[in-house]
Structures are given as structure tokens and as C-alpha cells.
Structure 1
Amino acid sequence: MKKEVGISVYPEFYDLIEIKRYLKKASDLGFTKAFTALQIAEYNFSSKAKTIGKNEFKEIFSYAKSLGINFTADTTRNVFDSLGATPTNLEPFYDLGLATIRIDAGFDYEEICSMTNNKYGIIIESNASFSTPKNKQYYEEVKKFCKLIMDFGNITQLVTCFNYFPRMGTGHSKEFVKEVVHLYKEYSIPVSAFVASQFSAPDLNEHDHGVQTIEEHRFMAPHLAAQELFCLGVSNVIIGDSMASESELSELSRIKDLEHLEIPVLFNQYLPKDIENKIKSIVMTSRVDQPADIIRSTDTRGIELAPLYCAPRIKYSVTMDNIMNSRYAGELQIVLKEYGPRQNINVIGKIAEEGRHLLPYILYGNQRFVLINK
């Protein structure tokens, strides 16, 4: 699966110089996507939002394209009407310089199908958040929509993207996202979702925090949330907030190219530094014969560790069998429930709280992983 990362730009809150500087920084770090909304003022997210004209959007889209960044713009029926566009005539969006238009609301499936046949190569992005598997009738409607595109539209010009949720408590569950992604993957339709910046100004959420898809990700670092979204099958991860920090951009760009998960750990101070570094250098896979309450990796066997800190193993402890455990010596385990102390097992650390959401994805050898310092 090709993975891409993106930023969001809302010119209603920033001047052109700031936006271009942000786009350039993102481009330099390998970002290839950007998101905006052509109707922010309609939503009354903030009293500080100013009205933006077509020419300013056009300049932003043109500059981004010169950097290799493709813009997606959220649209509604009102946006179409104001630009003079119709489902069979997307020329106004082409003239703006848009690569993708997201259909937030106001159009039926037949109209969206018609849009995918546009001659300008504009990608049409549907709203994945209304593809609920929990409502059987709605779920079947979405499947009919996908089949309609395959039969009468251009499936290669269709993608989908979840909503973001600036209001606290309104985001999706990860289970919902997983089920919806599975539906669209049946038709090879790429899926995008949003993560939150922890440092951006609250432009879209004056009284709350975070502009993301999954509620559990609201206060999570973007690269940690993105790792989970990629595990769920999401192809493209976009920071929903306005101005992420440089460190957030850098970390998100870096993890998109990894073929394994990075799980942060608080290593025990008694663990010899050379052993810690050796452990962190190994890309591990948990055993396929998955125990009920332990994650086992035999990739570290052979590391010789003297008995030290053979303490009770609380939940999320990271342990290593010491030299007293003969052929198991060096085996690394992550315990998922409390166990008592064993003289042949050293407690070498603990999975950091912000990394625990990734543990389900490494079970049964499904995802390779490395342990990193918190």
C-alpha cells in the first residue's frame, strides 16, 4: 500500500506568506498532499475567519503544485453554485488548479458518478464517514454506489476520506474506521483520514482541541496516530489542524516510509546501555502461535543478560529471559496482564502509555516492530 501524508491549510486564518512558508516546509519534508475547505466561513468555526476570494485560493493551489503538493478542497452544493460548476462541468475547479474535490454534502450518488467521468482528470473524493456498517441499509447503499461507479463511472478517479471532528467527543471509533476501510478496499478505493496537531492554534475549535478523525487520537502525537491509521488500512494521513510544528511534520513524514511499527518504551535504568541499544536495533516479529496474555519475540534470543531486576511483571512490562533460562535466554516478552517475579526473567522496561494502542497490531506476527526510547 502506498502511503502519503498531508497538511491542512485554511487561508481564512493566515496570510499568504505564512501559508506559502508552511507549504514549502511540508514539501521539503516529503509531504505530497494538502487539504482545505472552500466553505469554512459557512461553518462558523471561528469569529476570526476572514472571507477568501477565488484568486487567493488559485495562487495557493498554483504554488503548492509547483512544490509537488496536490490540493484537495472540501466542497458543497453552495460552492458549486458560487463557482458556476455542475456535476457534468468541473471546469471551474480545473481553472482553480485543484487536483481533487471532496464532496462533503449536497449530491446524490448518480451526480458523484457523473463527476468521476470528468475530462480534466480531477479526482473525486467521497465522504467515508457516512458509510456506516452499523446501519445495514446505508451500508448496502454504499456498496451499490461503488458498483455504480465501476459500471458507469471512472473508478480510477474516485477516492474517499473520513470527516474530521473539531468538537470534543464527536470523533469516530477505530472499530468504525476499520470496518469502513475494509468496505472500500473491496473496490480498491484509497481512503484518507485526519490526525491532530498538538501544537497548532485552535482555529477550527476555539473551545476544544484537535482536528482528527478518531476520537482516541485527539491528544495523540500525529506520528503515533498515523501508525495506527496505516495499520487500519488508511492510505493517506492528513494533519487536520492549521499549523503543525516542524517536529510533528518531520516525524509524520519519517514514519510513512517505515515498514514496521515503532513502539515507545521506558527502559529500566539498570539495563546495560549496550544491551538496550542492541534491542532497539532489532526489527522484531511476535510469534504466530500467540499466547493468551504475552507477546513473544524470539528475534532477540542469544542476547546474554545476567539476572538483574527480576521484579514482579506488571501489565505492559517488557521483559527478557536472562542466562539462567538456557535456550530461552534473550527472548523478549511484553506482558498483557500481571505476573509474579521469576529469577530467570529480567524486567527491562515498560511500554509507554502513548504506545499501547499499537500493541494489538503486532499480535500473531501481523506487523513487525521495533522498540524505541520514549
Structure 2
Amino acid sequence: MYRRLGVSLYPDKSKFEEDVEYITFAKKQGFERIFMSMLEVTEGREVVAKKFSKIIRVAKDLDYEVMLDIAPNIFDELGISYDDLSFFHELGADGLRLDAGFDGNKESMLSFNPYGLIIELNMSNDVAYLDNILTYQANKPFIYGCHNFYPQENTALPLDFFTRCSKRFKNHGIRTAAFVTSQVAKGGPWDINDGLPTLEMHRHLPIEVQAKHLFATNLIDDVIIGNAYAHKDELIALGKINRYQIEFSLELLEEVNEVEKRVAFDNQHFRRGDIADVMARSTQVRKEYKEDNPAHNNTITFQRGDVVVGNDAFGKYKNELQLVLQAHNDTRKNKIGSIKEEERILLDYIKPWSKFKFKAN
């Protein structure tokens, strides 16, 4: 399934002009969807309709997919029935994210609404919620899944729980989404905002590392910035990431030579299928590069996250590239650099035959 980037807007707490500037710049960086919160609305149906339709029209002109985050109290606040979604269709939205669930049959019926509105389900529960809905013969192409975000420090999901929840949706082929957090944005739905990530381990990481991690799990199709407004540099960084394979940021040593640079940066790497515990081997490159490679930085203990290339003493393995997974010594290898510390969590996702690349940090 193709992968997308998204931003979040909070029209009840933001200025129209600033929203437009934000989504216009984000679109230029390759962003394609908008999470738009309606959880905070209190001004009545007419005012809400005018405010939201105005920004949604701009978003649609920019070719965004727009999902509205709603909860049962919103229907009461706006005097809307679950059996008539015309209000949201008239706003111009593409779909509704249900922050709270029903009995399964209700969600199934909603997925057959006459407007073709997508029904996005809350993914952050490790229960058979989706299975129940599909049992009621839901309109599966119109069902998405999206995790929650967590404004309070230390309340977001742990990785193992996130994985179990996500697999429930991914195993059914449902489009999935999760949130990353800007390190500078302050906008969100509530008065507490310690960042808005799905995973607690992401809360203080650079935003592009968060996104790389979510994509690396192969469980998330859409990565959305939870808070607004992310800095332009963050949007640019996200726009540049490789969504379909891990691309490590490599901090090179001064002693690295031109052959080693070409080995690292000019190739599509993949881990051998017959794997080893101590390192992940990219072996095809040694067949392409026969140049001499004198020893340097080869007498140290290599640490997890180091990148090494075989030197002249390594015989047929000269110029083979390896990702170090466990500390070891081998003078036949030159350390050429290290993966950026924050990105070493990505090493866990280099499986047999996994593709990966490097970019200079």
C-alpha cells in the first residue's frame, strides 16, 4: 500500500490564514492528508459549518484527503444523527475518524453511507474491535484505521502494545495511520500538550526519526504530525525521508576514503538472507568494487550502529559493507562511520533480505 504524510489542523483554535499557509507549504513537501479535529467545537452548527468548510475547500483545492475527528458528543452538539452524514459531506470532508466506537453493526452501516465517506476507526486498543465490525460485513474499502495521540508525558503507547494493535488492522489489509510529534509546535485539542505522538518512545526524538521508525515497522501507511504547526524545517525533513525502505543517516569518520564512500552511498544495499547475529552483511557491493582499500580505524572494538567495510586484508570479502549489530573486533574491517544514535532503533527492522540505504549526516 502506498504511504503518505499528513498534518493536523485545529480550526476551532487556529487562524484561517495561518492554516492555509501551513498546509500550502506542507503540500509542496509532499504531504497528502489532513487530520482535522472537531472534538473542541462549541459554537453551534452554523458557525462550525462555515469555519470548517472554509478551510476544507482550500485543502481540497490543494488535493488533500481530509479526515474529521469526531466523537459522540459532536453529534449532540451539532444536532446531527448518525443515520444522516450529509452535514460532513457538505463540509467537503473525505471521511470521519470515530474517536469512540459503537457495537460493530453501527460502524458497518456507517461504511455504506451514500456519500462515500471513509470511516476511520480508532486503532489504539488491543481488542477484536475491527473483527467485530468486519463480521457485520462492513464496506471494507471504506474502512481505515488510525491510532490515537497522547498529549500527556508518559501516557503514549509502548512499542509492543502498538505492534499488537496495529497488526490487528494490517492483517486485514486496512489502511493504517499513526502520529508523530513536532518538537516545536504547541497547537492541539487540549490545554495540555507535551507533544502529540502515538508512541511514547518518540516524544523527544527528531520528527524524521519518528516517521522513519513508523514506516520501518511496515504496520503504518500514513504518518501524521499530531500537533500544529510543525516548523518548516521539520516539514522539509519529513518530505525528504524514504517511505519505503530504511535510509540511515551515516556520520562518517574523517579517514574514510573515496571507495568506501561509493560503497556506502552509491548502492542499493540488502541484508543477506542467511543472516548472522553479529552483523548485517551487504555482500553484493564487494563484487562491484575491486579497488584497493588500505586499513584504517580497524583496531578498535566495533559497536552496535557502526558501519564497516572490508579492507585489503579481507581477501574475497574486501569492500563488503556490514552493519554492526553486536560489539566485536576484526582488523580486516575498517570503520567508516556510525549510524546517527537516534536512528539505531531502526537496526531491529533490518531483516533477512531487507533493503536499506545511507545518506551522509
**TM-score for both structures, normalised by structure 1:** 0.88
Match in the other structure for 1:320: 309
Q: Which amino acid aligns with 2:236?
A: S
Residue 226 in 1 paired to residue 211 in 2? yes
Q: Name 1:175's counterpart in structure 2.
A: 160
In structure 1, C-alpha distance between the alignment counterparts of 2:162 and 2:256, rounded to whole Å: 39
The Cα of 1:106 is off from its aligned counterpart by 5.7
In the TM superposition, residue 325 of structure 1 has moved relative to its aligned partner by 1.0
* 1:373 corresponding residue in structure 2: 360
CA displacement at 1:168 relative to structure 2: 0.9
Structure 1 residue aligned with 2:227: 241
The one-letter code of the counterpart of 1:179 is R
Post-superposition offset of 1:327:
0.2
The TM-score with structure 2 as length reference comes to: 0.91
> What does 1:1-374 align with in structure 2 at a 5 Å threshold?
1-40=1-40, 53-105=48-100, 107-130=102-125, 132=126, 138-139=127-128, 141-148=129-136, 151=137, 153-201=138-186, 203=188, 209-232=194-217, 233-255=219-241, 258-273=243-258, 275-301=260-286, 302=289, 304-310=292-298, 311-340=300-329, 342-365=330-353, 367-374=354-361
Matched residues, percent identical? 28
| Superposed displacement of residue 54, structure 1 | 2.7
Residue 269 of structure 1, CA deviation: 1.2
CA deviation profile, 1:231-284 (whole Å, cap 9, x unmatched):
32211110001011222212222325x532111122111112553244212120
Aligned-pair CA distance for 1:195: 0.7
Q: CA deviation at 1:32?
A: 1.4
SS at 1:105 equivalent: coil
State the alpha-carbon separation in 1 of the partners of residues 91 and 35 from structure 2. Answer: 14
| Equivalent-residue separation in structure 2 for 1:18 and 1:373 (angstroms) | 34
In structure 2, C-alpha distance between the alignment counterparts of 1:73 and 1:259, rounded to whole Å: 27
Once residues 278 and 332 of structure 1 are traced to their aligned partners in structure 2, the CA distance between those partners, rounded to angstroms, is 7
Letter in 2 for 1:368: K
Ranges in structure 2 where 5+ consecutive residues have no aligned partner:
none
C-alpha change, 1:192 and 1:106, in structure 2 (3 Å) is: closer
Superposition RMSD in Å: 2.0
Gaps of 5+ in 1: 43-51, 133-137
The SS at the match of 1:6 is strand
1:41 Cα deviation after fit: 6.0
Which runs of structure 1 show a deviation greater than 4 angstroms over 4 or more consecutive aligned residues? 202-208
One-letter code aligned to 1:55? K
Question: Which segment is superposed worse, 17-26 or 304-313?
Answer: 304-313
Q: Deviations over 1:290-348 (max 9, x none)?
A: 112211111331353101121222332221110111100011112222213x3322121
**CA deviation after TM superposition for structure 1 residue 176, in Å:** 2.3
Structure 2 counterpart SS, 1:363: coil
